[in-house]
A and B are shown apart, each in its own frame.
Chain A
Amino acid sequence: MPKNYIARRIAKEFKDGMYVNLGIGIPTESANYIPEGTRVFLQTENGGLMFGPKPKRGESNPDIANAGAEPITMLPGGAVFDVATSFAMIRGGHIDMTVVGALEVDEAGNIASWKIPGKLLTGMGGAMDLLYGCKRVIVAMTHTDKHGNPKIRKKCTLPLTAAGVVDMIITDKAVFRVDKDGLYLEELAPGVTAAEIEQLTEGTILNIIEWEHIEIT
């Protein structure tokens, strides 16, 4: 598996002129791989549009930070604003794409990412607004959990963050399109077979039969 495969694969979804909000972790990493010549405007929900890399020591601004309160820089032409304006962008349908992590996704495009009853309590933060309002939702995650259990389910078992919103799933093993009728396998990661994906995916893959007849290189 090539290093940072998921982040590199996410980056292929960036199109010139897009306004994008990236979740923490791997989605944020994908900004390092934005293709040359593609201009992407990154939004951060605490109130910034067109931010850049982290500053050098001694050059940070205590009030210029990302949604994790970590230091960032603003690019020339970038804007800062309050959180009501920020969520008008997000909820109001002005952001073209969001990429987020998840605990589970299912074949109906439902996503669970904010709570494990009795185990994980964080609050939903801005995730529900982003998933509702962004025009395109990509989930980026490992294909299975640390015990090897499928994270792409028939039906999510954990509390939902949003219902029926996911458009694409990018994992370390495959890429799926989530359509109205269910999951379509679009790509396999290097060295992965369709049979392996079927075994590691609980949700029904509608085009898996076609894949059985395709030689994967």
Chain B
Amino acid sequence: MAVQITTAEAVKKIVDQSSVMIGGFLGAAVPLKMIDEIAAAGVKDLTVISIGAGYRGGGVDVGKLVVNHQIIKYVTSHVGTDPNLIKQIVGEEVELELSPMGTFVERVRAGGAGLGAVVTPVGMGTEVEAMAQKITVDGKPYLLFKPIRADVAVIKAYRADPLGNLQYQGMSNTNPIMATAADIVIAEVDEIVEIGEIACEQIGTPGIFVDYIVKGHSYEARKVIYEEMWIATNKL
């Protein structure tokens, strides 16, 4: 069962050298308040695991931890949107571990689902072959990747109930997968509602996976934050 705490209390679960999964997709559906808390806490030498760097230009999403120099290793599929992060990777301040996006997602899923590896044909005939072990199944060559887990996963959902059941709206992207793959799972939500208000078929992540619920920005406040970001970059 999940416990409701403040973002200030939740951020204490992350310490220097923690590995931290951050849900979302290039800045969309990310836990905005918790990322601000991690940046303010100043914890360092973090291994950050997320599907891609933040919104174009940097400084958003994991980009906040980049400008603060809090990351020592970044596990992902894409860094092209964040020039600050690219600079730190080229300067060898941040170690980069890449895998193709679909493989990255399955590695996290495998980490949460108790599987021993991901076996995929994607990346054969490319440099990715050097990042994995080659195996043959029924005469066909595949690449074997290890699962990914983290000390803490910080994810974003729309609503939670006190049992930790989570409801998503829009694209849930990496959030329900990361919810399964860390020792401590912190879910930031727009709203916390009574038990029963989220109907069973609306539950995207059952509370069994969630340890802590924190209240993030309201939906309306998030809408303003995203519209401002999109208008400033000529996308709306």
Residue pair B170, A121 in contact (C-beta under 8 Å): no
Minimum CB–CB distance from B203 to chain A (whole Å) comes to 14
With a cutoff of 8 Å between Cβ atoms, the chain B residues found around residue A91 in the complex are 102, 120, 122
With a cutoff of 8 Å between Cβ atoms, the chain B residues found around residue A15 in the complex are none
Q: Report if A82-B235 is in contact (Cβ < 8 Å); known contacts: A123-B80, A126-B102, A129-B102.
A: no
Q: Is B227 an interface residue (CB 8 A)?
A: yes
With a cutoff of 8 Å between Cβ atoms, the chain B residues found around residue A57 in the complex are 227, 231, 236
Report Cα–Cα, A83/B172, bound state, in Å. 8
For chain A, residues 113 to 144, give those with C-beta under 8 angstroms from any C-beta of chain B: 115, 121-129, 132-133
Contact with B126, one of A70, A84, A123, A162 (Cβ below 8 angstroms): A162
With a cutoff of 8 Å between Cβ atoms, the chain A residues found around residue B236 in the complex are 54-55, 57, 60, 71
Q: Report if A54-B125 is in contact (Cβ < 8 Å); known contacts: A65-B25, A69-B26, A129-B102.
A: no
Residue pair A84, B28 in contact (C-beta under 8 Å): no
Binds B, one of A40-48, A195-203, A206-214: A40-48
With a cutoff of 8 Å between Cβ atoms, the chain A residues found around residue B125 in the complex are 110, 160, 162-164
Report Cα–Cα, A129/B105, bound state, in Å. 11
Query: Smallest CB-CB separation from A48: which chain B residue?
Result: B171
Residue pair A82, B172 in contact (C-beta under 8 Å): yes
Residue pair A67, B26 in contact (C-beta under 8 Å): yes
Residue pair A122, B78 in contact (C-beta under 8 Å): yes
Minimum CB–CB distance from B216 to chain A (whole Å) comes to 11
Query: Smallest CB-CB separation from B51: which chain A residue?
Result: A83
For chain B, residues 70 to 104, give those with C-beta under 8 angstroms from any C-beta of chain A: 76-81, 86, 89-90, 96, 98, 100-103
Report Cα–Cα, A115/B78, bound state, in Å. 11
Binds A, one of B8-16, B41-49, B173-181, B191-199: B173-181
Query: Smallest CB-CB separation from A61: which chain B residue?
Result: B170
With a cutoff of 8 Å between Cβ atoms, the chain A residues found around residue B174 in the complex are 82-83
With a cutoff of 8 Å between Cβ atoms, the chain B residues found around residue A82 in the complex are 171-177
Residue pair B171, A80 in contact (C-beta under 8 Å): yes
Contact with B105, one of A58, A84, A127 (Cβ below 8 angstroms): A84
Q: Which of A110, A124, A133 has the most CB of B within 10 A?
A: A124
Residue pair A132, B121 in contact (C-beta under 8 Å): yes
Residue pair A70, B102 in contact (C-beta under 8 Å): no
Report Cα–Cα, A71/B51, bound state, in Å. 19
Residue pair B122, A129 in contact (C-beta under 8 Å): yes
How many residues on chain B are close to A (CB under 8 Å)? Answer: 57
Q: Is A2 an interface residue (CB 8 A)?
A: no
With a cutoff of 8 Å between Cβ atoms, the chain B residues found around residue A176 in the complex are none
Q: Is B206 an interface residue (CB 8 A)?
A: no
Minimum CB–CB distance from A130 to chain B (whole Å) comes to 9
Report Cα–Cα, A67/B81, bound state, in Å. 12
Minimum CB–CB distance from A55 to chain B (whole Å) comes to 7
Binds A, one of B144-152, B207-215, B218-226: B218-226
Residue pair B100, A124 in contact (C-beta under 8 Å): yes
Residue pair A63, B29 in contact (C-beta under 8 Å): yes
Residue pair B76, A123 in contact (C-beta under 8 Å): yes
Minimum CB–CB distance from B158 to chain A (whole Å) comes to 7
A-B contact list, 26 entries, CB within 8 Å: A45-B101, A47-B171, A47-B173, A54-B235, A60-B226, A61-B223, A62-B219, A71-B230, A71-B235, A80-B171, A81-B171, A81-B172, A83-B177, A84-B106, A91-B122, A122-B86, A123-B52, A123-B76, A123-B79, A125-B80, A126-B100, A128-B101, A128-B122, A159-B127, A160-B127, A164-B125
Residues of chain A at the chain B interface (Cβ within 8 Å): 45-48, 54-55, 57-58, 60-65, 67-71, 80-84, 87, 90-91, 110, 115, 121-129, 132-133, 159-164
Given contacts A54-B235, A71-B226, 11 further A-B contacts (CB under 8 A): A54-B236, A63-B168, A69-B27, A83-B173, A91-B120, A110-B125, A123-B80, A123-B96, A125-B100, A126-B100, A162-B126
